[in-house]
Each structure stands twice: as C-alpha cells, then as structure tokens.
Amino acid sequence: MADYASVPVQPIAQGLLTIDAAGNPQITGRGFSSVVRGSGLVGDFVLTMDEGTGAADVGSGDGFTIGVIGPNGLDPRFVRIGLTVRGGTVPPGNTDITDRSAAITSVPGEGATQLRVALAVDPATPADPMGFGVPNAHGSGLEIMVWNGNAGPDNAQATIVGPLFQGAMQFP
C-alpha cells in the first residue's frame, strides 16, 4: 500500500474585500496593506501584501530559496489563492459572479508583492462583488485567502514511514 505525503502550506494573508458607499474597495483581515481598483473600473482590484517582521517572514531569500528567513516577498511559483464570493440579494443568497481569477505581480529580487483579482459575470462582463456600500445581485463581498504552497523543506528529502503525517524516528 502506498503512503501519501503531507505537504506544508503556510497561510500568508486572508481578507474580505468589500465596496464602500463611495465605490472604493476596502480590505479587512490580515496580510494585505491596501487595495485599489486596478483599471479604475469595476471587477478589477490590486491588493498589496502587508509588510511583516523578520520573525514572521515566510522566508524566500535571494533566488527564492525556500526556508530562508529573508526580507522578501513570496516566490510567485508557490503562491496559492482562494476566492469565494459572499452571497447577495437574490434569495436565498446567490451570486451571479461566474468568473474569478487572480494574477501575481512580482518585483525583481523581491518576489510577489501584489495580487490582482478580477471578477466577472457571464458573458465576460467585469463586476464588483457587491454594490456601493450595499449587497446586490453580485454578492456582498469577496473572501480572499493566500498561502505559500511550499512552506517547508522538500518532502522528498524526508524519510516517511508508517501512517500519514508520521515522521521517521531517529536515534543517535
């Protein structure tokens, strides 16, 4: 019987994107320092990652060597993103947002520092996840989660025996 390995994924940021009464996007949660409209139009948002501390740094050093504490952004190859729409005014709480996508903006030598999120309704029409300060048929906001998908050392280098998650015992 095969064993299947566990994999460490490090939560980096989570937030709830809403639209205020003036039509400006707002982000609450942790890990994002700001959000602005990417193109000045609806359904296009640029989120800037929050600067942390050395102790809490996810650690992707020069050349994106995983596991090294360093003052850098995320390695864009390992960013994992979850997008979920909060329900809107169509009973019992539906949304007509059909397209959710994200892109990663990297700074040379620094890594991924921004996410750009796009939302749309069929047929390919950009849309905000809610109205100006109020829910609408699109929804009542957008949940965003970001992980570093390779937060630990290469599992292939670890000796794994027995049940899932059970590491090998070693004796001197």
Partner 1 sequence: MTDYAVTPFQPIVQGVVTFDAFDNPVFTGEGVSEIARPAGFPVGAFLLTLDEGLPGNAGAVPPGLSPINDPNVRTMITMRGAGVPPISNITATAVLYLVSPAVGVGADQILVVTRTNPPAPADPVAGFEMIVWRVL
Using CB under 8 A, list all residues that contact partner 1: 10-14, 16, 18, 28-31, 49-54, 56-58, 71-74, 82, 84-88, 91-98, 109-111, 113, 122, 135, 139-141, 143, 145, 148
Distance CA 154, CA 138 (A): 41
Cβ of residue 9: shortest distance to partner 1, in angstroms? 11
Q: Which one, 140 or 150, has the nearer CB to partner 1?
A: 140
Q: Which one, 22 or 156, has the nearer CB to partner 1?
A: 22
Cβ of residue 167: shortest distance to partner 1, in angstroms? 21
Residues 6 or more apart whose Cβ sits within 8 Å of residue 103? 115, 116, 118
Q: Which one, 98 or 171, has the nearer CB to partner 1?
A: 98
Distance CA 38, CA 50 (A): 18
Q: How far, CA to CA in Å, does 143 sit from each of 5, 44, 151, 157, 168?
A: 29, 15, 22, 35, 38
Cβ of residue 70: shortest distance to partner 1, in angstroms? 8
Q: Which one, 71 or 169, has the nearer CB to partner 1?
A: 71
Neighbour count for residue 153 (Cβ, 10 Å): 11
Cβ of residue 29: shortest distance to partner 1, in angstroms? 7
Cβ of residue 101: shortest distance to partner 1, in angstroms? 14
Q: Which one, 35 or 58, has the nearer CB to partner 1?
A: 58
Name the one residue in this structure whose structure tokens are 């942390």: 52
DSSP secondary structure code for residue 27 in this structure: E
Beta strands in 122-171 (DSSP E): 125-126, 142-148
- The distance of Cα 141 from the centroid of its chain, to the nearest Å, equals 15
